[in-house]
Chain A
Amino acid sequence: MLGWMGGLVRGLSQRTLLCYGLVFFAFVYAPMVIVFVYSFNSNPVNMMAWQEFTFDWYRSIFGLSNKLTEQALYVESTDQLKAAVKNSLIVACTTTTISTVIGTMTALAMARFRFRFKTFYRVLVFMPMIIPDIVLGLALLIYFVTLGGELGLITIIIGHCTFLGSYVFIVVSARLAGMDQTFEEASADLGANRFVTFRRVTLPLITPGVVGGALLAFIISMDDLVITYFIAGVDSTTLPVFIYGMLRRGIKPEINAIASLMILFSLVVASSGLYFRSRAAR
């Protein structure tokens, strides 16, 4: 390995690094590009052997056409797909709201107060993020079943909130760390009570962090597979779990189209989030 490193270092000229960088980004993006490109391939038998350009798979997932290449399974999965997307959106919106509120409150407490159990809380808040998700998912499964609860959207929402609050906490804390407490004191000094101060000063100032944290929570919630996989009931499949199930049953061409749409969706959400953050930072 030393020889390899030596070679790397000797070749550290800008050009070699540039070439490497391009290869690196190609490695990162090529798989997604391949999925996208082949989602327009009309070949129903071997989806990776290019035949001709088509929109059929997109039409089929929206239920606009039933291209019955294999069984009537497609028609059935369109409804399931719609239900899964709906569930995902319900879960993501609810968890985003709850975890944003909880995470922001915690961040405010940690940034604005000195108290004895601070270290305990810091560890407690970090725990859900560093614990392997399979462990958290199964612990919640045991818990809900032991308590006799029924698995469904509510259990998914609870499960997501346990760790998404921590993500929001991190993002909002970063924003609060750069914010002076004298703004709040100035507001109180000018006659505003706690509530007015929060609404008119604290909240506007931390909004970029709160929005960033909420976006992050939304994306992670939309994408969570492992925890949802264990605590989703039969009728409450979310989109990632649904696709995972489809992949396990066998790969069908229209998964390409679904995957492409999901990539596009998350890229748009993430880009706009990063764009807003960079604007707010100015």
Chain B
Amino acid sequence: MIPRLTTLDRKRWRLVGLLSPITLFLGVFFLAPLSIMLVYAFLEPGLYGGVEWNYYHHNFGRILGWADGEFEEFDLVYLQIFARSFRLALTTVLGALLICFPAAFWVSRLDDRWKTLCLFLITLPFFASLVVRLFAWVIILKPSGFINQTLISMGLIERPFDMLYTEGAVILGMIYIFIPFMFLPLYASLEKLDRSLIEASSDLGASRLKTFLRVTLPLSLPGIIGGSIIVFIPSLGNFIVPDLLGGAKVLMIGNLVEQQFLQARNWPFGSALAMMIMVAVLIFLLIYVSVVTRSETMSEGREF
């Protein structure tokens, strides 16, 4: 006897079946860990690592400059590191944008076969190991590295430059690993950009600069914003790049968080810092979503 189920019932059970693995998995291993981390951010650090299960808001106080007010002096060191992280992440975004925009523009104007090849070549490095790609820059930038060796052997300089362990090296490294993230959204919006619009604009007497500023740039804005957000998010919390290319001199929040967890063993404070990263990222995402929705409603009827 077949169970008396209507089509609707059967559908509902299939849906439940299909969704339960992801629901269980993300519930148990994603939402629950994040919630516990949020709880930790408000707990008191124990003396020798570990935690005391008391409500404690000084973790956030310490980030903002004043902690328990007894043993610690007013100190902006954490805010300064936050500021530096923002600065480096924004510079990375800007640099990646300036490097990728002309390239994306160029690729979007190629004919289809070359386009496919170029896109393939852009995507490929993304699959190569991140550590290895950063390692490459270490051996290029270090005092006895590729650039210094080359310059010395050509007799252009006598003593090696200090390039590794600088902010510049960190920015360069982040730009390098995030190039595909910036290139692809830019390319997607430039590719859709109708060439006749540019021609129409110059036909109407606009100079090339004006055409670029008034037509090309605004129409590729969704790609610019999308790429910027996608690069900004992993840049802000990054700790691998500053660790390998910045050394102890260029600390970012990511390094701070890592230290709190793996060296200082102050998990509540580390959690509070991590939550700050999350909040910053979410704010930028919300801005992005609102900008995208607005540009979509503005150009209604146009396919995005």
B-binding residues in A (CB < 8 A): 5-6, 8-10, 12, 14, 17-18, 20-21, 24-25, 27-29, 31-32, 34-35, 38, 46-49, 101-103, 105-106, 108-109, 113, 115, 121, 124-125, 127-128, 130-136, 138-143, 146, 158-159, 161-162, 165, 169, 194, 219, 222-223, 225-226, 230, 239-240, 243-244, 247-248, 251, 255-256, 259, 262-263, 266-267, 269-271, 274
Contact = CB atoms under 8 A, between A and B. Distances in A.
Interface in B223-279: 233-234, 236-240, 243-244, 254, 257-258, 261-262, 267, 270-271, 274-275, 277-278
A125 B22 contact: yes
B135 to A, nearest CB: 6
B139 A35 contact: yes
B29 A162 contact: yes
B185 to A, nearest CB: 14
Contacts of B139: 34-35, 38, 47-48, 251, 256
Given A135-B278, A142-B271, A31 B124 contact: no
Name A's interface SS: helix
Interface string B115-146: 00010111111011111110111111010111
B204 interface: no
A244 to B, nearest CB: 5
Contact of B124 (A105, A109, A143, A270): A270
A28 B133 CA distance: 10
Interface size class of B (residues with CB under 8 A): 35 or more
A11 B75 CA distance: 50
A278 to B, nearest CB: 8
A68 B142 CA distance: 24
A35 B15 contact: no
B274 A139 contact: yes
14 contacts: A28-B122, A31-B176, A32-B128, A102-B21, A102-B22, A106-B18, A113-B14, A135-B274, A135-B278, A138-B261, A225-B240, A244-B244, A251-B142, A263-B129
Given A48-B144, A143-B37, A230-B262, 9 more contacts: A9-B212, A12-B105, A28-B121, A38-B139, A101-B21, A113-B14, A134-B254, A136-B34, A138-B37
B209 A10 contact: yes
A35 B182 CA distance: 24
Contacts of A18: 106
Nearest to B122: A28
Contact of B102 (A8, A128, A134): A8
User: Counting chain B CB atoms within 10 Å of each CB, which of A158, A219, A263 scores highest?
Assistant: A263
A259 B129 contact: yes
Contacts of B137: 31
Contact of A162 (B25, B267, B281): B25
